[in-house]
Amino acid sequence: MRGALAFAWRSLVRQPARATLGILGVAAVGALLLDMLLLSQGLVTSMQDLLDSTGFDIRVAAQDPIPGEPDIADGPAAAAQIATLPSVSAAISVRTEDADIQIGSARPTRSAFVGVSGGRARPWTVLRGNDISPSPGGFGAARNHELVLNEDAARSIGAAPGSIVSVKAYCSGGAEAAPPISFRVTGIAEFPFDAPNQSGAGTTSASLADACGTPDSRAADIVMVTSAGDPDATASAIAALRPDLQTFTNNQAVGQLQQRGFTYFRQISTVLTTITVSFALLLITVLLTVSVNQRLGEVAALRALGFSQRRVVLDVLFESALIVGTGGLLSLPLGAALAIWLDSILKRMPNLPAALHFFVFDPNALWIHAGLLASTAVIAALYPMRIVARLPIAATLRDEVIG
Amino acid sequence: MAAHHQDEPVKASVFAAALAGAALATVTLAQTPDNPPSILVSRQLAELEQIAVGDQVRLATDEQGTDARVFRVAGIYEPTPDPMRLGAVPREVRLHLTDLLALTRDQATPAGTEHVESINVALHDPNEAGAFAADVNARMPGVFARPAIGAAGAGSTFVVLERFHLAIAAVTIVAATVFLLALSIMLVDERRATVGVLRLIGLPARRILVQVLLEGLLIASVGAIFGLMLAVASEGLINGFFQWRYDTALIFVKVTPTVAATCLAIAVPLGAAATVAASWALLRRSGLRLARR
C-alpha cells in the first residue's frame, strides 16, 4: 500500500505542471463546493444564533397582522398576562416605529424607534452609560422620557449619555408626524437586529406612545418571552392562555423562515453543489484517463516486470486520491477566504441585520465536503483503473515497440 | 385573509387598484345577487377555493365576517411574479381603492380622510419622470416622489444577488481555466512527436503556433456553442421545475443575447489562449528533441 502511494506520488512529481494545475483546479472547485455547503445552512444557523442571542426564546404575534399597523392592541397587558405563567421567566411587549432624532436644530437621523414594556428585560445590550428606567406612572402619566441610542444614531447626531435629544415619531406607517418631544439619552446600546448604518433607539412603550401623540395607546407588534425551561411547553401554555395570538418558538420561527424566506439560497446551494461535484468528477476523470493513456506502455512494462494487476490499479487510485486530497486540503483556506468575500457581497442586501451571515462554519459541512471529494476521487478513478486493469500486456508492449 | 366557495372564510391579501397597500380580509361566498362591486381574484386563490368568474363573494377584515361586503368576481388574474415572495402562494384579491377604503375604514375616520401608502403615476412621456419627481418634491413638502426605474437603488436585493452570481461565475471560470490548462498541456504533450516531425520537415514554430491557435479557436467555439445549446435546452427544464415548485410565473433562467455573447466572449478567447499557452513551452524546444522517442 505504501509502495503504491509512493509510486503515485512519483508519477505526479514527474509531471509537475499537469499535477499542479490538477491540484489547483480541485482546490478552486473544492473551495466553491465548501462555500455552497456552508451557504445551504448558513443563513438558518446565523438566524437561529441571532434569535437565541436576544435571550428570548418565544415570540407572540397577532394572528392576522396588518401591514403598517401595530398588531396587538393590548401589548403590555398581554405581556403581563403571559408573565404570570409559571413556565415564563420574562415577557415584554415590543413596538417599533420610525422617528427623526436630533440635537437642537442639527440635522436629524431617521431611526428605528423601539418601545418596550413589562419587566426589566430589554431587547438590547447597553454598551455605555445606563439603561432606561421603567416608566413611572404608566401610560398617559407625565414622565421624564429616556432612551438609549445605538452607535450609529449616537455618531450621526453627536449624542452621548446625558444628551437631550428631540424625537419626532412617525407611527403606524403614516406620513404625519406627532409634535417632537424631548428625551434624555441614558446610554449607548447594541440592538441585535440592526442593519449596518441603521440608526436605532429604544425607550419604554409609554414613552413611545407619547412620542406618537397617542399616550393611551397600548399597541405592540410582538411580545417576546423568555421561558423558564422548555420553550415548546411554554409556547403551548401561552397558546392556551391567548388563543387569539400566534405563538412560536425560535426553532419554529427559523423553521418557517427556512420554508419561505431562505429557499432561494438552499436551492442555489443544491444546484451549484451538484454542478461543482459533476464538474470536478468529469475533469478529474479526463485528467486521469489522458494521463493513463499516455503511460500505457509504462504500465504494461511494469506488469511485465512483475507488478500485480492490483498494484497498478492502486497506483491510479492513489494518484487520484493525491490530486483530490491535496486540492481538497488547499480548498479549505481558499474556501474560507472565498466565503468571507461572498458573504460581504450578500450582506449588502438592504435591511439585513449586521450580525446575520450567509456563510457560517459548520463541522457537518466539512464532513460532507470531505465525503464528496473522497467519493469524487474514487469515482473519477474508476474508468482509468478499468483501463489499467484490462490492459493486454504483450499486445501493448508490442504496439509500443512497433509504434 | 381567506376565501371559500362555501361559507367557510378563507384568508387572502387584498390589494386596491392604484393603491400600493394591502389589507387583510376574509372572503366567503355571498348569497345576495344585487349588482355588487367587482373584484379580481388571483389564479392561485381561485384554484384553491374553486372560485369562478361571476361568483359573488363577501369580503371582511376579520374571520368572523364583521361588516362583510359583497363583491362580484369580474376576473381571475395571474399575479405579477415577485421574487421577494418566492415560496408564498399569492392568495390575493384586487379591488377598487374606494371599495377597499370603505371595507377597511375605521368608524372614527371620516370618508375621504384615509391615508394611502403610495400613488403610482403614469406620465405621457416616461423620460420626464426625473423632472416630474423633482417638481412634486419641490411643490409638495411631506410627499416623496421618485422615478420607478432604478428606485430600488444600487443596494437593492436583486442588484446584490446579481453581484453574487457574477462572483460565483468568476470562481467557476477560474476553476475551469485551470483545468483547461491542465488538459491542454496533456493533449499538447500527446502530440509532441507530431510537432517534432513538423519542425523537422521545415515548418517554423510560428506557423505551427498559428495552426494550434486556429485549432484552439475552433475547439473553443464548438465547445462554447455546445455549452450555449445546453443552457438553452435546460432553460425550459429549470424554469418549468421551479415554476411548478413555487407555483409562480417567475422566470428563473433566461439566456438572453447579451448573456450568450458574454459567454462566447469569455469562453472562446480563454480556450484558445489555454491551447496556445500550453503549446508555447513545447514549441520552444528543438525539432529533434521533440521527435526523439
B110 Cα to chain A: minimum distance (Å): 16
CA of B10: how far to CAs of A12, A317, B174, in Å?
Answer: 67, 61, 52
Task: Quote the radius of gyration of chain B (alpha carbons, Å).
Answer: 32
Contact: A28, B175; criterion CB under 8 Å: yes
Contact: A346, B171; criterion CB under 8 Å: no
Provide the grid cell at A345.
Answer: 457581497
Looking at beta carbons, which residues of chain B come within 8 Å of A21? 178-179, 181-182, 185
CA of B291: how far to CAs of A249, B189, B198, B205, in Å?
Answer: 74, 12, 9, 14
With cell 416622489, the residue in question is B145
Looking at beta carbons, which residues of chain A come within 8 Å of B86? 263-264
- Hey, of B117, B178, B219, which one would you mutate to test binding to chain A, going by the most A CBs within 10 A of its CB? B178
**Distance (Å, whole) CA A112 – CA A251:** 26
Contact: A29, B175; criterion CB under 8 Å: yes
Residue range of the domain that includes A218: 64-243
Of A107 and A71, the structure prediction assigns the larger pLDDT to A107
Provide the grid cell at B50.
Answer: 374553486
Contact: A291, B142; criterion CB under 8 Å: no
- Cβ-nearest to A348 among B86, B155, B246: B155
Asked if B4 and B45 touch (Cβ cutoff 8 Å), the reply is no
Of B143 and A198, the structure prediction assigns the larger pLDDT to A198
Question: Which SS3 state, helix, strand or coil, does residue A147 take?
Answer: strand
A230 plus A375 within the same structural domain: no
Is there a domain that residue A20 lies in? yes
- Type of residue numbered B91: R
Provide the grid cell at A216.
Answer: 393611551
End-to-end Cα distance, chain A: 33
A272 plus A313 within the same structural domain: yes
Contact: B21, A67; criterion CB under 8 Å: yes
Nearest CA in chain B to A401: B293
Last residue of a domain, one of A195, A212, A243: A243
Contact: B167, A264; criterion CB under 8 Å: no
Please give the full DSSP string across B73-84, using - where no structure is assigned. EEEEEPPPP-GG
Contact: B179, A290; criterion CB under 8 Å: no
A340 plus A202 within the same structural domain: no
A69 plus A105 within the same structural domain: yes
Is there a domain that residue A58 lies in? no
Nearest CA in chain A to B163: A345
B83 Cα to chain A: minimum distance (Å): 9
Last residue of a domain, one of A208, A243, A278: A243
* Pairing label, strands A199-204, A109-117: parallel
Question: Chain B residues with CB-CB distance to A under 8 A?
Answer: 1, 11, 21-24, 62-63, 83, 86-88, 115, 117, 142-143, 155-157, 160-161, 163-164, 167-168, 171-172, 174-176, 178-179, 181-183, 185-187, 189-190, 242, 246
Is there a domain that residue A34 lies in? yes
Which residues lie below 8 Å from residue A142, measured CB to CB, with a gap of 6+? Answer: none
Instruction: Flag whether pLDDT at A129 surpasses 60.
Output: yes
B1 Cα to chain A: minimum distance (Å): 8
**Distance (Å, whole) CA B153 – CA A350:** 10
Tell me the residue ranges of DSSP E strands in A125-273.
Answer: 125-129, 146-149, 164-170, 181-190, 199-204, 222-227, 245-249
Tell me the residue ranges of DSSP E strands in A21-145.
Answer: 58-62, 88-102, 109-117, 125-129
Contact: B182, A25; criterion CB under 8 Å: yes
Instruction: Give the number of residues written for chain B.
Output: 293
**Distance (Å, whole) CA A283 – CA B180:** 9
- Beta-bridge mates of residue A224: A59, A92
| Mean pLDDT value across residues A183-200 | 89
DSSP state of A243: T
pLDDT for A3-54, tens place per residue? 778 888 888 888 888 888 888 888 988 999 999 999 888 888 888 888 888 8
Nearest CA in chain A to B25: A64
**What pLDDT is stored for residue A151 in this prediction?**
93
**What pLDDT is stored for residue A339 in this prediction?**
93
Number of domains in chain A: 2
A195 plus A102 within the same structural domain: yes
**Distance (Å, whole) CA B223 – CA B229:** 10
Q: Could you give phi then psi for residue A340, rounded to 5 degrees?
A: -65, -40
Choose among A253, A171, A216: nearest CA to A73: A216
- Kindly list the structural domains of chain B, giving each domain's residue range(s) and its CATH number in brackets, ordered by start: 10-104 (2.40.40.20), 121-151 (no CATH), 157-291 (no CATH)
Instruction: Flag whether pLDDT at B40 surpasses 90.
Output: yes
**What pLDDT is stored for residue A167 in this prediction?**
92
Instruction: Flag whether pLDDT at B229 surpasses 90.
Output: yes
A98 plus A134 within the same structural domain: yes
Contact: A21, B155; criterion CB under 8 Å: no
Contact: B164, A342; criterion CB under 8 Å: yes
Is there a domain that residue A265 lies in? yes
Helix extents (H) in A183-230: 205-211
Looking at beta carbons, which residues of chain A come within 8 Å of B155? 348-350
With cell 389564479, the residue in question is B43
Contact: A349, B88; criterion CB under 8 Å: no
Question: Which SS3 state, helix, strand or coil, does residue A43 take?
Answer: helix
Choose among A197, A165, A167: nearest CA to A98: A167
* Confidence band of A118 (pLDDT split at 50, 70, 90): confident
pLDDT for B178-188, tens place per residue? 888 888 887 77
Contact: B164, A345; criterion CB under 8 Å: yes
* Confidence band of A141 (pLDDT split at 50, 70, 90): low
Contact: A66, B115; criterion CB under 8 Å: no
- Beta-bridge mates of residue A203: A115
A217 plus A320 within the same structural domain: no
B34 Cα to chain A: minimum distance (Å): 30
Question: Which SS3 state, helix, strand or coil, does residue A146 take?
Answer: strand
Of A361 and A63, the structure prediction assigns the larger pLDDT to A361
Looking at beta carbons, which residues of chain B come within 8 Å of A348? 155, 160, 163
Looking at the predicted complex, does its ipTM rise above 0.90? no
For chain B, say whether A255 makes contact (Cβ under 8 Å): no
Instruction: Flag whether pLDDT at B288 surpasses 70.
Output: no
Instruction: Flag whether pLDDT at A267 surpasses 80.
Output: no
Identify the sign of the CA torsion A45, A50, A52, A53. positive
Q: What percent of chain B has pLDDT over 70?
A: 80
Give A 202-221 residues with CB within 8 A of chain B.
Answer: none
Is there a domain that residue A330 lies in? yes
- Hey, of B164, B187, B219, B238, which one would you mutate to test binding to chain A, going by the most A CBs within 10 A of its CB? B164
Is there a domain that residue A256 lies in? no
Asked if B290 and B281 touch (Cβ cutoff 8 Å), the reply is no
Nearest CA in chain B to A335: B171
User: Where is B238: in which H helix or E strand?
Assistant: helix B205-246
pTM: 0.72
Contact: A29, B11; criterion CB under 8 Å: no
Tell me the residue ranges of DSSP E strands in A241-291.
Answer: 245-249
pLDDT for B186-215, tens place per residue? 777 777 778 888 888 888 888 888 888 888
Give A 160-179 residues with CB within 8 A of chain B.
Answer: 173-176
pLDDT for A180-191, tens place per residue? 889 999 999 998
Is there a domain that residue A328 lies in? yes
Burial classification of residue A365, based on how many CB atoms lie within 10 Å of its CB (0-12 exposed, 13-18 middle, 19 or more buried)? buried
Of B25 and A170, the structure prediction assigns the larger pLDDT to A170
Phi-psi domain of B202 (left: phi exceeds 0; alpha: psi -120 through 50; beta: other)? left
pLDDT for A45-54, tens place per residue? 888 888 888 8
Contact: B117, A267; criterion CB under 8 Å: no
Question: Which SS3 state, helix, strand or coil, does residue B105 take?
Answer: coil
- Cβ-nearest to A349 among B160, B182, B187: B160
For chain B, say whether A274 makes contact (Cβ under 8 Å): no
A22 Cα to chain B: minimum distance (Å): 6
**Distance (Å, whole) CA B186 – CA A311:** 24
A163 plus A79 within the same structural domain: yes
Provide the grid cell at B148.
Answer: 420607478
Instruction: Flag whether pLDDT at B81 surpasses 90.
Output: no
Contact: B160, A174; criterion CB under 8 Å: no
A323 plus A181 within the same structural domain: no
A208 plus A97 within the same structural domain: yes
Question: To the nearest whole number, what is the mean pLDDT of chain B?
Answer: 79
Is there a domain that residue A74 lies in? yes
A211 plus A124 within the same structural domain: yes
- Cβ-nearest to A290 among B174, B176, B186: B186
A277 Cα to chain B: minimum distance (Å): 12
CA of A58: how far to CAs of A55, A87, A225, in Å?
Answer: 10, 12, 5
- Type of residue numbered A27: A
Last residue of a domain, one of A243, A272, A305: A243
Instruction: Flag whether pLDDT at B111 surpasses 80.
Output: no
Instruction: Flag whether pLDDT at B143 surpasses 80.
Output: no
| Mean pLDDT value across residues A223-228 | 91
Asked if A235 and A247 touch (Cβ cutoff 8 Å), the reply is yes
A145 plus A208 within the same structural domain: yes
**Distance (Å, whole) CA B47 – CA B30:** 18
Total CB pairs under 8 A between chain A and B: 99
